[in-house]
Amino acid sequence: MENTNQAKKKAFLTGITGQDGSYLTDFLLAKNYEVHGLVRHSSVFNRQRLEHIYQATRRSAQSFLEYGTDIEQKSNLILHYGDLSDGSSLARLIAKIQPDEIYNLGAQSHVQISFDIPEYTGEITGLGTVRLLEAIRETKIKTKFYQASSSEMFGNAEETPQKETTAFRPRSPYGCAKVYAYHTAVNYREAYGLFICNGILFNHESPRRGENFVTRKIAKGVAEIVAGKRDHIYLGNLEAKRDWGYAPEYVEAMWLMMQQEQGDDYVIATGETHSVGEFTEEIFSLAGIDNWEKYIKKNPIYYRPTEINALIGDATKAKNKLGWEPKIRFKELARIMLDAELKKLGIIVIRN
């Protein structure tokens, strides 16, 4: 049980509107944190993943939609406009909020898209981290910093499974930007004695995953086939293998890293790997559809100029030092994702 007499801890999250940001917000609010989030302006509403929190606290829809900041400070979730490309806004916010913990989850996070916008990806996913670290250094605020590092950094990995000591051989502009951010984070830890953690997270998925990542795309596509709304799913490389975990469990690992005595780097993974084809087959099978291959059309636009053929992580250090272990495995993850999509389409799922 939480001690409610203690002063509320404050966390500042970039990427709060994303998959991980929204789950971490749920997690931290349940731990009685005051959560501050960076949101960027967009012409369409980009806060759907946080809407349940606003509805639960019955805040004024007006301030949420128009500005998003909790003007009346009635809830523990406060949003601020800013951007990882805008260093002055980051420094101003950090000075104003004085957070105990900063989680840098914001990024141009799509690997294939990073080949189309490499410069922007470097700007946000790489340099965005430097801007935040510089803001901490200049404001001299005593805070802890989490960097969302990625298994994509291992790229064409030289060993299997990949662990904290495995060399990075990135295969995409996104992977290169994350390697830059990782090394910068380590350098600021060593040079300035800051508390900094790199969470090297392998793929993690959920019903809140962006629709253009492969697991969500497949789960949504199959649910739509069941509903008679489409006939096919267009995919790229079905042979690539990934170590897929469940996002809500992975945000807990982030928090655990930040509660240690010292900042350190940790791999977070399930230790299991499956191909995109196996995931597709599993989802079709859960939906009761045989001959899954006849519903798949290959489209070359989804192939990447360079691909990572296989990733599998070794999270032994996280188990030993953080007591963290994944519970949701491949088959259950697939079921959670398919059932969420079927539910959205009004299809009642009864499973034994």
- Judged by the rule CB under 6 A, the positions of this chain that interact with ligand GDD are 109, 111-112, 150-152, 202-203, 212-214, 217, 235-237, 240, 242, 276, 302, 304, 307, 311
Structure tokens at 44: 């369409």
Q: In this complex, which beta carbon is closest to ligand GDD, that of residue 252 or of residue 278?
A: 278
Measured from the CB of residue 206, what is the shortest distance to ligand GDD in angstroms?
A: 11
| Residue 209 CB, nearest approach to ligand NAP (Å) | 7
Q: How far is CA 137 from its chain centroid?
A: 25
Q: Cβ of residue 180: shortest distance to ligand GDD, in angstroms?
A: 14
Q: Which long-range contacts (CB under 8 A, 24 or more apart) does 125-128 make?
A: 125/174, 125/177, 125/178, 125/181, 126/176, 126/177, 126/178, 126/180, 126/181, 126/184, 127/84, 127/85, 128/14, 128/84, 128/85, 128/104, 128/181
Q: How far apart are CA 224 and CA 341, in angstroms?
A: 8
* Closest CB 259 distance from ligand GDD, rounded Å: 24
Is 183 annotated as ligand-binding? no
Q: Which does 333 bind (CB under 5 to 8 A by kind): ligand GDD, ligand NAP, none?
A: none
Q: How far is the CB of 112 from ligand GDD (least distance, A)?
A: 6
Site of tokens 């989802």:
283
Q: Which does 19 bind (CB under 5 to 8 A by kind): ligand NAP, ligand GDD, none?
A: ligand NAP
Reference 48, options 18, 77, 20, 25; nearest CA is: 18
Residue number, 19 or 76, with CB nearest to ligand NAP: 19
Looking at beta carbons only, is 19 or 226 nearer to ligand NAP?
A: 19
Catalytic residue list: 150, 152, 174
Measured at CB, which residue is nearest to ligand NAP?
A: 18
Question: Considering the complex, what minimum distance in angstroms separates the CB of residue 151 from ligand NAP?
Answer: 6
Locate 321 and state its tokens: 């030092």
Q: Residue 237 binds which one of ligand NAP, ligand GDD, none, with CB within 5 to 8 A depending on kind? A: ligand GDD
Out of ligand NAP, ligand GDD, none, what residue 276 binds, judged by CB under 5 to 8 A for its kind, is ligand GDD
Chain residues binding ligand NAP by CB under 6 A are 14-15, 17-21, 38, 40, 42, 46, 83-85, 105-109, 124, 148, 150, 201, 203-204, 210
In the complex with ligand NAP, the residue whose CB is nearer, 201 or 223, is 201
Give the closest residue to 265 by CA, choosing from 172, 166, 123, 152: 166
Closer CB to ligand NAP, 91 or 287, in the complex = 91
Residue 99 partner contact from ligand NAP, ligand GDD, none using kind-dependent CB cut-offs of 5 to 8 Å: none
Cβ count within 10 A of residue 23: 22
Query: Quick one: which of 25, 39, 31 has its CA closest to 3?
Result: 31
Which of 219, 256 has the CB closer to ligand GDD?
219
Q: Which partner in ligand GDD, ligand NAP, none is near 15 (CB below 5 to 8 A by kind)?
A: ligand NAP
The binding site for NADP(+) comprises: 232
